[in-house]
Amino acid sequence: MTELIEMKLQKKFFENMLLEGVTKDDLKNFKAYKTANYDKYNTDKSLLNDIQQERNFKELYGHLVNRRKEWDEGGNMKIPICACHTRIHDLHYRIYNFKDANEGKKITLYRVGSSCVGKFIGLARVCLICGNYYKGNNPYCNEKQCKEEYDKKKEKEHQKYLSTLCIDCNQNVVNTEKYKRCYSCYMKYKSTQSRCIDCSRMCNHPFVRCFHCNLKYKLNQ
């Protein structure tokens, strides 16, 4: 009887993942990390390891997440369930396509329970660079090249983050392709600008000519 129930749960898990476009072969490239329970952390400091796992993932691959899939039983309570349709109690995991994340492709996070993670993905901590299982608190394994690669990726993401900051106040800029300043700083900057009466280029207030036109004007005097 237990085996029959187990088979039904496994079938349900694979069916729901397939509806999301994830096949059994795709799951071979999946890894997992434990989702932090911040409410419980306030009373149980041993959960610090769970919080660190989630932080490590977000630091390196958080920008690649374009969708989150969560199953629940509906209603006001929104009770979380796994892809196999059993309730998730304390241990929440997120699984994702590690191969795609490592290649810089967009990924989806799927919330599943510890039982299915243990059966189909693996519960142990994995290196965020090579994907191998290891023991330790770092986001990478003991291989030297993994640490070096992790540092490179983290620095790259840090530079990307800096490029999204306003050049005046360091706040986030919504459209970095078009603007270098946030809205408030842009409006302040714009109020200090005027149009050159000769070429219509922007020039600093209270000047009526830009630098180049002003030189020409002085030479002609």
pLDDT of residue 211: 83
3-state secondary structure string, 56-89?
A: HHHHHHHHHEEEEECEECCCCCCCEECCCCCECC
pLDDT of residue 39: 55
pLDDT of residue 152: 86
**Better-predicted residue by pLDDT, 56 or 50:** 56
* CB distance 57 to 50 below 8 Å: no
pLDDT of residue 122: 82
pLDDT of residue 162: 66
Average pLDDT over residues 204-208: 75
pLDDT of residue 46: 55
Convert the pLDDT of each residue in 97-130 to its tens digit.
999 999 989 999 999 988 899 888 887 678 889 9
pLDDT grade for 44, boundaries at 50, 70 and 90: low
The number of helices, as runs of H, and strands, as runs of E, in the chain is 9, 8
- Ramachandran area for residue 19 (φ above 0: left; ψ -120 to 50: alpha; else beta): alpha
Q: Using alpha carbons only, how large is the chain's radius of gyration in Å?
A: 26
**Structure token pair of residue 69:** 């899939």
pLDDT of residue 136: 74
* CB distance 71 to 83 below 8 Å: yes
Confidence check: pLDDT of 40 > 70: no
Average pLDDT over residues 209-213: 85
Residue 218 half-sphere exposure toward CB, CA atoms < 13 A: 7
**Structure token pair of residue 89:** 């109690």
pLDDT of residue 99: 93
Q: What DSSP designation does 29 have?
A: T
**Structure token pair of residue 146:** 């993994």
- What strand order describes the sheet that includes 30-34? 30-34, 92-97, 107-113, 65-69
Buried/exposed 175-213: b ≥16 CB within 10 Å, e otherwise = eeeeeebbeebeeeeeeeeeebeeeeeebeeeeebbeeb
Q: What DSSP designation does 120 have?
A: H
pLDDT of residue 26: 94
Q: How far is 101 from 211, CA to CA, in rounded Å?
A: 49
Convert the pLDDT of each residue in 56-84 to its tens digit.
888 888 889 999 998 887 655 677 889 99
pLDDT grade for 47, boundaries at 50, 70 and 90: low
Q: How far is 53 from 57, CA to CA, in rounded Å?
A: 6
Q: For the chain, first and last CA: distance in Å?
A: 101
Average pLDDT over residues 148-158: 82
Average pLDDT over residues 181-185: 82
pLDDT of residue 18: 94
Q: How far is 199 from 192, CA to CA, in rounded Å?
A: 18
Closest CA to 31 of 114, 125, 115, 104: 125
pTM for the model stands at: 0.66
pLDDT of residue 6: 85
